[in-house]
Structure 1
Amino acid sequence: MDPATLAGIVLAFVAIFVAMILEGGSPGSIFLLPPLILVFVGTLGAAMAGGMLKDTIGLVDSLKRVLLSKAATADALVDDIVKLAEKARREGLLALEDAMKEVQDPFLKKGLQLAIDGTDSEELAAILEAEVDAKKKADKQAAAIFTAMGGYAPTIGIIGTVLGLIHVLENLSQPEKLGHLIAGAFVATLWGVLSANVLWLPMGAKLKRISEIEISQMELVIAGIINIQAGANPRLVAQKLRSLLPPGSSKQKEAA
Structure 2
Amino acid sequence: MDLATLIGIVLAFSLVLISIMMGSGLGLFINIPSLMIVVGGTMGATMIRHPLNEVIGMIKVVKNVFFTRVWTPERIVDQFLDFADKSRKEGILALEAELPNIDDPFFAKGLQMAIDGMEPDALREILETEIEYLQERHQNGAEILDTMGTFFPAMGMIGTLIGLVQMLQTMEDPSTIGPAMAVALLTTFYGAVGANLVCLPMAGKLRTRSKEETLVKEMIIAGIIGLANGENPRILEQKLHSFLAPSKRVSRFE
Q: TM-score, normalised by structure 2?
A: 0.92
Shift in alpha-carbon separation, 1:89–1:209, aligned structure 2, 3 A? same
Question: What's the offset of the Cα at 1:139?
Answer: 1.1
Q: How does 1:243-254 map to 2 (within 5 A)?
A: 243-246=242-245, 248-249=247-248, 252=249
Partner of 2:3: 3
Coordinate RMSD, CA, aligned: 1.9
Matched, 1:15 2:33: no
Rounded to whole Å, the distance in 2 between the matches of 1:52 and 1:144 is: 12
Q: What's the counterpart of residue 196 of structure 1?
A: 195
Residues 248, 169 of structure 1: CA spacing in aligned structure 2 closer, same or farther, 3 A cutoff? farther
* Secondary structure of 2:183's aligned partner: helix
- CA shift at 1:108, angstroms? 1.1
Matched, 1:77 2:73: no
Aligned to 1:104: 103
Distance 1:118 1:69 in 2: 31
Looking at structure 2, the residues matched to 173 and 112 of structure 1 have their Cα atoms a distance apart, in angstroms, of 76
- Judged with a 3 Å threshold, the aligned counterparts in structure 2 of structure 1 residues 3 and 107 are, in CA distance, closer, same or farther, namely same
Match of 1:183 in 2: 182
1:170-208 superposed Cα distances (whole Å, 9 cap, x missing partner):
321122442443133210011111110100000111111
Paired residues of 2:61 and 2:138 also in contact (CA < 8 A): no
State which drifts further: 24-33 or 97-106.
24-33
CA distance, structure 1, for counterparts of residue 250 and residue 31 of structure 2: 53
* Paired residues of 1:72 and 1:213 also in contact (CA < 8 A): no
| Aligned-residue identity in percent | 38
Which piece of structure 1 moves more, 234-243 or 28-37?
234-243
Q: Distance in 2 between matches of 1:195 and 1:71?
A: 28
Q: Secondary structure of the equivalent of 2:166? A: helix
Offset of residue 133 of structure 1: 1.0
For the residues of structure 1 that align with 2:246 and 2:5, how far apart are their CA atoms?
A: 23
Is the 8 Å Cα contact of residues 139 and 211 (structure 1) preserved in structure 2? yes
**How far apart are the structure 1 equivalents of 2:30 and 2:251?**
52
Deviates more, 1:180-189 or 1:106-115: 180-189
Task: Specify the code of the residue in structure 2 equivalent to 1:196.
Answer: A
Q: Which amino acid in structure 2 is aligned with residue 205 of structure 1?
A: G
Amino acid of the residue matched to residue 228 of structure 1?
L
Distance between the aligned counterparts of 1:120 and 1:186, measured in 2? Answer: 63
Alpha carbons of structure 1 residues 9 and 103: separation in structure 2 relative to 1, 3 Å: same
Structure 2 segments unaligned to the other structure (5+ residues)? none
Question: Which residue of the partner structure matches residue 149 of structure 2?
Answer: 150
Counterpart CA distance in 1 for 2:107 and 2:68 is 19
The verdict on how the C-alpha distance between 1:210 and 1:247 changes in structure 2, with shifts beyond 3 A counting, is farther
Q: State the partner residue of 1:224.
A: 223
Shift of 1:148: 0.6
In structure 2, how many angstroms separate the alpha carbons of the residues matched to 1:71 and 1:30? 40
| Aligned amino acid, residue 238 of structure 1 | E
Q: How many residues align?
A: 253
5+ residue gaps, structure 1, are none
User: Does the 8 A contact of 2:62 with 2:141 survive in 1?
Assistant: no
Q: Whole-Å Cα distance in 2 between the matches of residues 206 and 248 of structure 1?
A: 24
